[in-house]
Amino acid sequence: MSNNSNFMKHIADYISVSRIIMSILIIGTKEFSVPFFIIYSYCGLSDIADGFFARKYNSESKLGEKIDSLADVVFVSATMVKLIPSLNLPKEIIIWIIAIATIKFFGIMYSFICYKKIIFLHTMANKITGFALFVTPFLMVKINSVIIYAFLCALSTFAAVEECHHIIKCEQKLL
């Protein structure tokens, strides 16, 4: 196998790893600044690109799936660490975000205890939630509304509960 074809076979993993690095860089930017949006956009587009290249080069793997899931967690976490302090959110929304994180944490712990592995499911609800969360900072430049936050929290709650349900029910087709 040539070096170029070997590189292309692993390009999805390289893209996911680059998303982890770029996500960490978000923390050092000023929220809603041009550098923030450049890095943020790269991270969002790289999430689409890694899956595209994994399928295109038939290089989908369990390791690649784990790297992608880790990159997603780092991206969401870094973005939340960066943006939540500057949003002046109502305490009810903050409590709701903590509740969602608790549900997600429960799913992770349950999968680890019961299946001896950490499971992140790529359900349709999680994908829709991910997209909604991704576009929100672009909207927030013009609109800063509790309605947007409540909608995102409701969508995120549904996705988190659905994911936990699938994990607890041990739906092998998803695990």
Please count the residues of the chain. Answer: 175
One domain, residues 92 and 142: yes
73 assigned to some structural domain = no
Distance CA 7, CA 11 (A): 6
One domain, residues 44 and 93: no
Asked whether the beta carbons of 146 and 90 are under 8 A apart, the reply is yes
Q: What's the structural domain count of the chain?
A: 2
Q: What is the pLDDT of residue 142?
A: 77
- Residue 29 tokens read as 């930017």
Which of 40, 68, 96 is the endpoint of a domain? Answer: 68
| Domain of 12, in residue numbers | 1-68
Query: Is the model's pLDDT at 173 over the cut of 60?
Result: no
- Write the CA distances from 152 to 6, 104, 123, integer angstroms: 40, 15, 16
One domain, residues 92 and 168: yes
Q: What is the pLDDT of residue 15?
A: 95
The band of 145, judged by pLDDT with boundaries at 50, 70 and 90, is confident
Distance CA 61, CA 161 (A): 26
76 assigned to some structural domain = no
Q: Residue 147 class from Cβ within 10 Å (0-12 exposed, 13-18 middle, 19+ buried)?
A: exposed
% residues pLDDT > 70 (the chain): 95
Task: Tell me, yes or no, if the pTM score tops 0.75.
Answer: yes
14 assigned to some structural domain = yes
82 assigned to some structural domain = no
